[in-house]
């Protein structure tokens, strides 16, 4: 499955970063091994980086969230940018991935992503 994103802000041009967007994310009931894909193809052609900016409940903050892409020179696809989640922090988090966990109850996970903007192919 894939995470569902809802745009909050953007596009914003940020010197040194490119085009930036903020999204609210709804995670899946069975978090995928290796991370949940997020489809940024409507927003970015190339993914340069991203951050998980926060959640709305202390229980959700026990997870560490990161965004991982395929590299700065690989075009964004619907599956090559993922959110990974680990329970805990630091070295302990590496040993506790969210594989098959139900993270659908994580509320208001906000992410910010940046990269080269997607090119509009039609004005219709």
pLDDT number for residue 106: 79
| 49 vs 30 pLDDT, higher one | 49
Strand ranges (DSSP E) for 1-124?
Answer: 4-14, 18-26, 36-37, 44-54, 63-68, 82-87, 109-117
Is the pLDDT at 94 greater than 80? The verdict is no
Read off the DSSP letter of residue 120.
Answer: P
Average pLDDT value for the chain: 83
| 5 vs 2 pLDDT, higher one | 5
Is the pLDDT at 122 greater than 60? The verdict is no
């Amino acid at each position: 499955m894939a995470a569902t994103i809802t745009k909050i802000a953007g596009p914003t041009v940020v010197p040194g970063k490119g085009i930036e967007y903020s999204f609210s994310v709804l995670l899946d009931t069975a978090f995928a091994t290796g991370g949940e894909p997020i489809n940024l193809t409507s927003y970015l052609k190339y993914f340069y980086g991203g951050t998980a900016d926060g959640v709305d409940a202390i229980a959700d903050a026990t997870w560490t969230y990161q965004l991982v892409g395929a590299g700065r020179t690989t075009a964004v696809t619907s599956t090559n940018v993922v959110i990974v989640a680990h329970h805990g922090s630091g070295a302990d988090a590496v040993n506790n991935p969210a594989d098959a966990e139900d993270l659908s109850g994580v509320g208001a996970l906000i992410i910010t992503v940046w990269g080269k903007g997607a090119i509009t192919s039609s004005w219709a």
